[in-house]
Amino acid sequence: MPENTQIATLVARGFELTGIIILVAGAAAAFGAYLAGLVHRQDPQAAYRGLREALGKAILVGLEVLVAADIIRSVAIAPTLLGVVVLGLIVLVRTFLSWSLEVEISGHWPWQHRAGEPPQGRDIER
**Considering its fold, how many domains does the chain have in total?**
1
Threshold 0.75, pTM exceeds:
no
On whether residue 125 sits in a domain, the answer given is no
Nearest alpha carbon to residue 112 among 102, 124, 125, 101:
102
Three-state secondary-structure class, residue 114: coil
- H or E stretch at 33: helix 3-39
> Could you report the per-residue pLDDT of 74-125, keeping only the tens digit for each?
777 767 888 788 888 888 887 888 788 778 777 777 677 665 555 555 444 4
123 assigned to some structural domain: no
Q: Does residue 91 fall inside a structural domain?
A: yes
Residue 99's domain comprises 3-106
- Is 40 a domain residue? yes
